[in-house]
Chains A and B, each alone.
Chain A
Amino acid sequence: MLNAIWAIMIFAGVITALFTGRTKEISDAVLASCVSSIQLIITMVGAMCLWTGVMRVAQKAGLVDKLAKLLRGVFKFIFPGIPKDHPANGAIAMSISADLLGLGSAATPLGIMAMKELSNINGNSPTASNAMVMFGVLNSVCIQLIPASILVIRQQAGSVKPSSIMPAVWITSLISATTGIVAAKCMEKRGL
């Protein structure tokens, strides 16, 4: 499906540009995007090293296992395919905790590490397992408790109470997370 989405994005963009006369703009934009990819990845290499390093420290201290045990009840339902003592449990627990705490820089590195553990269980197959799809869906819905960067922008825009959106954010996150879990569970049964 990602292949189709990618092709459609490029197709739709180029055809539109032919009609709107923005052909030079899209050519410039696509070249500029390569530069931003490199800038992004350079920022990410650092964050990635930092968090995979800290993660290893936490692992050796036994903190990751403790966290995994704490979340085991929830995981049993959401990720039924993961063996009880597999390192994937700890990796997912760390990743989801980072999401909840709003550690933006840690979320992607820890998420990728968890995805690697899940891929190991799946025999590194090119086809995603149910657990991998579920983990991808959980990361695509935003489950942070405090949307810090949005609150800062609200404050800068002159809000009298930036945090007034928090209840709405929590309810919305809960709705989209539940929808995602249910949708993923339903679709895996249909064998799509």
Chain B
Amino acid sequence: MVDFIAGFSVAGVIFIIVIYAYLKGVPVFDAFVEGAKEGVKAAIDVLPVMVGILAAVSILNASGLVDILTGLLKGPLSLIGIPAETVPMLLLRPFSGSASLGLFTEQIKTFGPDSYLGKALSTIMGSSETVLYILPVYFGAVNVKNTRHAAAASLIASYTGMLAAIYICRIL
């Protein structure tokens, strides 16, 4: 059932919207093309932001900093019940979507998807976003320079969620 919903959702949503609009007498294709034109411009506006973010993330990933920080942080974090194995994920998740997904795919095979660690990592992945990709892209698209407290509030929310996932999976 879950697989069906997940697989059908994109086509299903388009189907419902287009059929409903057509029956209401909307010139559906004309409306679609008109809207799609705006999409091109918005995507091009985002390109420079994307290049900047991915460049910084790639330097960080290739430098080996995550390994060094994991070594430094795993001791103190284990005192508050955070397993050392989850530390690289906690460090990577808000920065790099592709790196955290790669790490997740690797770790879940090592620990087993139904083990405590496997569940905790799955929950972290399923309930968090790449904060430092989303914010620059969204704000960059509208030329906002001063994002005020957006990054701080988002990172607080993201880390609260990730730590909560680690504790919740221990109980559930």
Instruction: Tell me which residues from 42 to 64 in chain B have a Cβ below 8 Å from any Cβ of chain A.
Output: 42-44, 46-47, 50-64
Interface centre among A26, A32, A61, A159 (most CB of B within 10 A): A61
Q: How far is it, in angstroms, between the C-alpha of A25 and the C-alpha of B135 when the chains are bound?
A: 27
Do A136 and B160 touch across chains, with their CB atoms under 8 A apart?
no
Q: How far is it, in angstroms, between the C-alpha of A170 and the C-alpha of B14 when the chains are bound?
A: 26
B6's nearest neighbour on chain A, judged by CB, is A148
User: What is the count of residue pairs linking A and B with beta-carbon distances less than 8 angstroms?
Assistant: 363
B contact face: mostly helix, strand, loop, or mixed:
helix
Do B148 and A9 touch across chains, with their CB atoms under 8 A apart?
no
Interface size class of A (residues with CB under 8 A): 35 or more
Q: How far is it, in angstroms, between the C-alpha of A77 and the C-alpha of B13 when the chains are bound?
A: 28
Q: How far is it, in angstroms, between the C-alpha of A9 and the C-alpha of B69 when the chains are bound?
A: 13
Q: Please tell me which one of the listed residues B113, B142, B165 contacts residue A119 in the complex, with CB atoms under 8 A apart.
A: B142
- B144 on interface, CB distance cutoff 8 Å: yes
Q: How far is it, in angstroms, between the C-alpha of A1 and the C-alpha of B144 when the chains are bound?
A: 12
Interface size class of B (residues with CB under 8 A): 35 or more
A53 and B60 contact, Cβ closer than 8 Å, known pairs A2-B151, A180-B154: no
> A40-48, A68-76, A78-86: which lies at the B interface?
A40-48
Residues of B within 8 A of A49 (CB): 36-37, 39-40, 43
Q: Mark A155-181, 1 if CB is under 8 A from B, else 0.
A: 001111111110111011101110110
Residues of B within 8 A of A172 (CB): 123-124, 126-127, 161-162, 164-165, 168
Do B58 and A53 touch across chains, with their CB atoms under 8 A apart?
no
A128 and B144 contact, Cβ closer than 8 Å, known pairs A61-B17, A109-B39, A137-B157: yes
Q: Please tell me which one of the listed residues A25, A103, A160, A168 contacts residue B13 in the complex, with CB atoms under 8 A apart.
A: A103
Residues of A within 8 A of B152 (CB): 1, 183, 187, 192
Residues of A within 8 A of B37 (CB): 49
A178's nearest neighbour on chain B, judged by CB, is B157
Q: How far is it, in angstroms, between the C-alpha of A2 and the C-alpha of B26 when the chains are bound?
A: 42
Do B43 and A48 touch across chains, with their CB atoms under 8 A apart?
yes
Q: Please tell me which one of the listed residues B65, B114, B131, B147 contacts residue A160 in the complex, with CB atoms under 8 A apart.
A: B114
- A92 on interface, CB distance cutoff 8 Å: no
Q: Mark B111-136, 1 if CB is under 8 A from A, else 0.
A: 01110001100111111110110111
Do A16 and B68 touch across chains, with their CB atoms under 8 A apart?
yes
Do A150 and B122 touch across chains, with their CB atoms under 8 A apart?
yes
Q: How far is it, in angstroms, between the C-alpha of A111 and the C-alpha of B119 when the chains are bound?
A: 29
Q: How far is it, in angstroms, between the C-alpha of A13 and the C-alpha of B135 when the chains are bound?
A: 21
Please list the 7 inter-chain residue pairs (A to B) with the smallest Cβ-Cβ separation, ordered nearest first.
Answer: A56-B35, A176-B161, A180-B157, A147-B126, A61-B21, A148-B6, A53-B36
Contact sample, A vs B, 9 pairs, CB 8 Å cutoff: A5-B132, A6-B56, A22-B64, A25-B63, A29-B59, A44-B46, A147-B125, A171-B168, A177-B157
Spell out A's residues near B (CB within 8 Å): 1-2, 5-6, 9-10, 12-14, 16-17, 20, 22, 25-26, 28-30, 32-34, 36-38, 40-41, 44-45, 48-63, 101-103, 105-106, 108-109, 111-113, 115-116, 118-119, 124-128, 132-133, 135-137, 139-142, 144, 146-148, 150-154, 157-165, 167-169, 171-173, 175-177, 179-180, 183-184, 187-188, 192
